[in-house]
Amino acid sequence: MDFINDHHCEKIYAGAVQSVEEAVINAMIAAESVPTIKPPDHILEAIDHVQLINLMKQYGRF
């Protein structure tokens, strides 16, 4: 059976960590606001894209 040399695991670790971090952000960016059911009559808001981009620009990250 084939398997990578342990020395290369760090590259896999880095790819995994970056992917997980980005996946969480992507989940938030792609999501849309939904109403609540318990308790009812509230809205769980999706993150505001324009507000987020402006904030990123403010910190020089966009």
As measured in angstroms, the least distance from the Cβ of 42 to another protein is: 6
Q: How far apart are the C-alpha atoms of 10 and 17, rounded to whole Å?
A: 10
Alpha carbons 43 and 34: distance in angstroms, whole number: 6
Residue 41 binds another protein, judged by CB under 8 A: no
Q: Which of 13, 41, 50, 53 binds another protein (CB under 8 A)?
A: 13
Q: Please check whether residue 42 is in contact with residue 36, taking contact to mean a CB–CB distance below 8 angstroms.
A: yes
Interface with another protein (CB under 8 A): 1-6, 8-9, 11-39, 42-48, 51-52, 55-56, 59, 61
